[in-house]
Structure 1
């Protein structure tokens, strides 16, 4: 993903020579119950923010000629294989708006994480880059990110921050999340810690750090 270009211009694309080969990107939204976190009742939860960001990324990447897909990691399985074209864009728009995976509240269906990860791995094209949208509120999703990256899928985590520091318990949750993000960075995973500022601003900060 060409995050430097996005930070400069707001245009999202992959780093590739389009006359030779378009990229394949899967946008993966963490829709487990643990991802439905928000700093307060009046703020969209992390899944809502992730779905909105995934929609923007999908449209931008499709417009630059890449094959783009959408998947969820949660109780309600969702998979849209990477493809191109206006019909594919319309299908993605409907999925993000209406699929139970992307509801504003968590599903009550049971979730079997190991089965879901195996299913996802079988579906992923071998050359797929992954953009994972997750608040990283628990260690398990960090392990999933590390495994997908280790399997050869270049992975970037965009992590909407749902934490606050107004109580001791919430301060601890924030510290644990910060530790989790540092752990992922130490494994070579690019992490965008997305706070209250627009995503483009956080990307600009992240790309400055990556370029050092």
Structure 2
């Protein structure tokens, strides 16, 4: 089995690749690639991303990988990570950027108002560091991961899906969708490759996932 990690010039791809190589062992061949043909030939696809949404979208289009990513999202087990997950939505407030339209909805910035914890202390944006994850709906990729497990985040924008596709939520300070899923696609805002054992479990689950909800 081949798992393609899409390299369109944006993201900490080394850590994602190494994490997948660690959890896959002999069960899968992990390929970091900027070749649309290799993405099309893979059994599963990982779509990471890091940086500003407009830059990521431009690099995706200029690389020639946009079509291969959309085709993969239609038909094979597909994992979006961080900005790679945000790109799957219709639109992002960051740079007034159209997305790929795989998911209905938008990506919005944490507001300047309402950003206080229960004690009244102001919360910083970007949301950076470890935060709890709450199960909104069971999903095979969350198997073996406990309610309230902590994952690592670095983001100023978050998903606002139009449909009921949230499977995992977090709070900063209000609840927001931290992971969404539909059919063969799972997309997560945080960085599982930096989230120790729980994050590695998520990636391990993806290696063995058949793409069914």
- TM-score tier (shorter): 0.3 to 0.5
Structure ranking higher on relative contact order (CA contacts 8 Å, 6+ apart): 1
Calculate the TM-score normalised by the size of structure 1. 0.38
Calculate the TM-score normalised by the size of structure 2. 0.38
**Larger proportion of helix:** 1
**Larger proportion of strand:** 2
